[in-house]
Structure 1
Amino acid sequence: MTDMVKARNYDEDGFVKRAACICVNDDESQVLLVSSRRDSELWIVPGGGVEPNELPDMAAIREVREEAGVCGMLGRCLGNSERGHRTSVYVLVVKEEMEEWDESKVFGRKRKWFSLEEAVKQLAKHKPVQSSYVSLLLPSPDPQSPSSLAPAVNAIIEDQVDPASDPTHGSEVEEDGGLESCGERTKTPSLSKEDLSNSCPTDETTADDT
């Protein structure tokens, strides 16, 4: 992988095609995030551009291998949000973590495991769209014991938070990516019953384009 911008790949509607993975452990209690190339103190969901003639699920697997140095079993595809990009977002159960990987060597990319709650909070600071996807994996809250996360998460899911109006986003729209998915277009993320079962194989993008 080289530090260059690859040719943009558009779908039939004119959206840039992208793919990303919410990388989790076996019981989906933890999420693996990677450091942003723009700011190594910020954490993001790994993902990037779909190359010409590449399927979104294969692109997702390739991107997490390049950016996070992990591979595993690709599972269900999550909801849909469009911000100039159409990004297929999958859940990937991590089965292998490499000691070194493409972007750790070239860009000093780091990775770190977070609890679901911690990941939602980390991403909500600067990546509310990504945060909303991770929040879909949170257990259903007990109505008698409201979580301190509930207001922030609900605001994102109910589309009360507009990422485009967030002043911290302007220069990082590419890093957020829209998050497309396998289903019909909706304003907010929704779960899909689709289950892919792909093992890990061995963009127009900058590396932070998730």
Structure 2
Amino acid sequence: MMKLKSNQTRTYDGEGYKKRAACLCFRSETEEEVLLVSSSRHPDKWIVPGGGMEPEEEPNVAAVREVCEEAGVKGTLGRLVGIFESRDQNQNPSVLTQNQNPSVLTQNQNPSVLTVLTQNQNPSVLHVCNNRKLSLHKGRKREWFKIDDAIQVLQCHKPVQATYFEALQESCLTSNGTPLVATIAEDLSPSYSINQSSVSDIR
């Protein structure tokens, strides 16, 4: 089901929940720091970048698009964290633990999907816009947070988003203590060039 609102088309699942996608954007594969952006409605509050899915759009594609639009960041998709339900806003985000093929999302998994986007320092897979361009486009701030700090600030404004990190820890696939980062099909995860100096623009 689709619904037009202002300049965007909203999509809903069969139960009337808005379909959304989001990303936990990590500074590196160690997943020690995550990128949060300021809320457009409450500029003093921090949120995980994400938004509504477009018609016929896959969750992983929507997650990449939304994090680029809201945070000005592009990177390599990692594992799928899960699908979360948010009934208070009639939205249905979810949690899917990572399969070896993170692109597998079937039609009956329509609720909003949180997808992990891992940011590497490798210039071929990371692009960060400068803060000035981002602020002109969306009026948002962005900042790297230690995981515990991110959970704390999210619990104050978006408690459901704080639970993403609990699911992340539970679903984390490790090898000798190091998180495994799954790769996704090339057409869903393009590589991007970067001006290395732009990485320092994020506080």
Could you say which TM-score interval applies, normalised by the shorter chain?
0.5 to 0.7
Describe how 1:101-120 pairs up with structure 2 within 5 A: 104-120=135-151
Shift of 1:16: 1.3
How far is the alpha carbon of 1:126 from its aligned partner?
1.4
Q: Where is the strand percentage greater, Structure 1 or Structure 2? A: 2
CA distance in 1, matches of 2:190, 2:41: 28
Partner of 1:31: 34
* CA distances 1:146-202 after superposition (whole Å, capped 9, x unpaired): xxxxxxxxxxxxxxxxxxxxxxxxxxxxxxxxxxxxxxxxxxxx6387945242478
Partner of 2:129: 98
Match of 2:199 in 1: none
1:123 aligned to which of 137, 150, 154: 154
Q: Which residue of 2 aligns with 1:162?
A: none
CA distance 1:200–1:117, change in 2 (3 Å)? farther
The AA in structure 1 aligned to 2:11 is N
SS of aligned partner of 1:131: helix
**Structure 2 unaligned spans of 5+:** 92-110, 120-125, 174-180, 193-203
Structure 1 residues without counterparts, runs of 5 or longer: 139-189, 203-210
Q: Aligned partners of 1:98 and 1:16: how far apart in 2?
A: 29
- Tell me, yes or no, if the aligned pair for 1:67 and 1:104 is still in contact at 8 Å: no
Aligned to 2:189: 199
Return the alpha-carbon distance in structure 2 between the equivalents of residues 111 and 19 of structure 1.
Answer: 19
Matched residues, number = 149
Corresponding residue number in structure 2 for 1:12: 14
- Show the counterpart of 1:50: 53
What's the TM-score, normalizing by structure 1? Answer: 0.63
2:114 to 72, 89, 100: 89
Instruction: Give the 3 Å change call, closer, same or farther, for CA 36–199 of structure 1 in structure 2.
Output: same
Which structure is higher in RCO with an 8 Å CA cutoff and minimum separation 6?
Answer: 1
Give the ranges of 4+ consecutive aligned residues of structure 1 lying more than 4 Å apart after TM superposition.
100-103, 192-196
Report the alpha carbon displacement of residue 103 of structure 1 after superposing the two structures with TM: 5.2
2:189 counterpart letter in structure 1: S
Q: Which moved more, 1:94-103 or 1:49-58?
A: 94-103
- Residue 59 of structure 1 aligns with an amino acid whose one-letter code is A
Q: What is the CA–CA distance in structure 1 between the aligned matches of 2:158 and 2:22, rounded to whole Å? A: 14
TM-score norm. by structure 2 comes to 0.65
